[in-house]
Amino acid sequence: MLRTDELIQKLSSTGSLEENEYAQLIKDYSEANAEKLKTLADAKRREIYGNEIFIRGLIEVSNICRNDCIYCGIRRSNRNCDRYRLTPEEILACANSGYELGFRTFVMQGGEDPFFTDEVLESIIKEIKSRHPDCAVTLSMGERSDESYQRLFDAGADRYLLRHETASKEHYGKLHPQEMSYENRMRCLRSLRRIGYQVGCGFMVGSPYQTEIEMAKDLKFIEEFRPDMCGIGPFIPHKDTPFRDEEAGSAELTCYLLSIIRLIYPRILLPATTALGTADGMGREKGILAGANVIMPNLSPVSVRKKYELYDNKICTGEEAAECVNCLKGRITRIGFKIVTDRGDIRKE
Ligand code: SAM
Ligand code: FES
């Protein structure tokens, strides 16, 4: 068995470990090891992206969802959730104001709301692309058919975020109701890739029943799938879900994993997520220092921000988009990085 130092060396020079080696590296978490991984990850990221941080304007289009993911605050069984849906006009207005603030990527994210048919999404995507041809449109609208993904791509969508949630079928079954399946999640990711989207996967750190074995499978999956983007953030319980009393995931371990993922695939686009900023007041700064190079400020109207509550105490629900951007610019500058006005595509060799 390799010593931890040797594992870190192997990961940094080859971008690959065996599954049991990933598990060992996670088990061997210590501040000193986190520091070593962070230094290596930072150097790799700087070789490709310098000190530039990409921003994505997040538009939370609806909290209406046909799914019942056990961890999620907007699951259909949550009767206390105050439901809303933005109109296409409101979504376009968010994109317009985001453009003025320097955003060149818009992310439409929401529950699996039947209102957002292919026709509705196609017309919104086409309108955003015609008003802002220099921008990328990212969708994060959950599981859909291959045909639907194709239509949305043809309408102009560039990227799709669909976290795999866990690369263990058994673990997937513990986080989701029976009618959802690991196979379908993976079918969606393969389909998105085949169609030509830039694809993002990802998982929650510290979700219920997750051990280093499951996280090692996630890392191996990322190594093999080589997503263009990967969203990871700590699991945070929501008071109106069956996981209300579960422990939250840790910001430290999330940062440790961000460094590992940067070393697995140095070009990857890696956000320092809102959940990381919620788990730790300095989480987003720590995430960037650990190897992340993307942040996703909220462009949703302030009136709906609190309603898109996936977990308790979500940050940035009271600020207007412009205030969020200014706050983040300050935070990022103070740690020696800079936010750029750029589509922020993955830089391929
Ligand atoms: N419906 C779309 C989907 O399934 O991809 C997008 C919205 S979904 C709410 C976005 C992500 O939020 C999920 O992939 C999940 O990883 C994350 N999430 C949900 N509940 C969470 C919680 N309690 N703590 C942290 N992250 C959570
Ligand atoms: Fe649908 Fe969370 S259960 S978005």
Question: pLDDT, tens digit, for every residue of 7-19?
Answer: 999 999 999 999 9
Shortest-distance ligand to the CA of residue 279: 1
pTM to 2 decimals? Answer: 0.98
Ligand 1: residue of 64, 66, 163 to mutate (most ligand atoms within 8 A of CB) is 163
What band does 337 get if pLDDT is binned at 50, 70 and 90?
very high
User: Would the pLDDT of 77 be above 80?
Assistant: yes
- The pLDDT tens digits of the residues spanning 257-287 come to 999 999 999 999 999 999 999 999 999 999 9
Residue 346 pLDDT > 90:
yes
Instruction: Give the mean model confidence (pLDDT) for residues 85-96.
Output: 98
How far does residue 334's CA lie from ligand 2's centre (Å)? 35
Is the pLDDT assigned to residue 60 strictly greater than 90?
A: yes
Closest-approaching ligand to the CA atom of 77: 2
Q: How far is the CA of 285 from the centre of ligand 1 (A)?
A: 21
Q: What is the mean pLDDT of residues 298-313?
A: 95
Task: Please check the confidence at residue 165 and state whether its pLDDT lies above 80.
Answer: yes
Average pLDDT over every residue of 50-70: 98
- Flag whether pLDDT at 319 surpasses 90: no
- Domain assignment present for residue 134? The answer is yes
pLDDT in tens, 121-139: 999 999 999 999 999 999 9
Assigned domain for 313 exists: yes
Residue closest via CA to ligand 1's atom 11 equals: 163
Q: Which pLDDT does position 146 carry in this prediction? A: 98
pLDDT of 1 higher than 90:
no
Question: Any idea which of 155-164, 177-186, 313-322 has the lowest mean pLDDT?
Answer: 313-322
On the question of pLDDT at 349 being above 80, the answer is no
Residues with CB under 6 A from ligand 1: 71-72, 109, 111-112, 140, 142, 162-163, 165, 204, 233, 235-236, 238, 275, 310-311
Determine the structural domain holding residue 294 and report its residue range. 44-340
Instruction: Supply the mean pLDDT for the chain.
Output: 97
For residue 294, tell me if it sits in a domain.
Answer: yes
Instruction: Give 102's pLDDT tier (boundaries 50, 70, 90).
Output: very high
pLDDT tens digits along 215-234: 999 999 999 999 999 999 99
348, part of any domain: no
Is residue 162 very low, low, confident or very high in pLDDT (cuts 50, 70, 90)?
very high
Pocket test for ligand 2, best of 75, 143, 162, 238 (most atoms within 8 A of CB): 75
Instruction: Determine what percent of the chain is predicted with pLDDT higher than 90.
Output: 97
Please compute Rg for the chain using Cα positions.
Answer: 19
CATH code of 257's domain: 3.20.20.70
The ligand 2 atom nearest the CA atom of 73: 2
Please indicate, yes or no, if residue 333 is contained in any of the structural domains: yes
Q: How many domains does the chain have?
A: 1
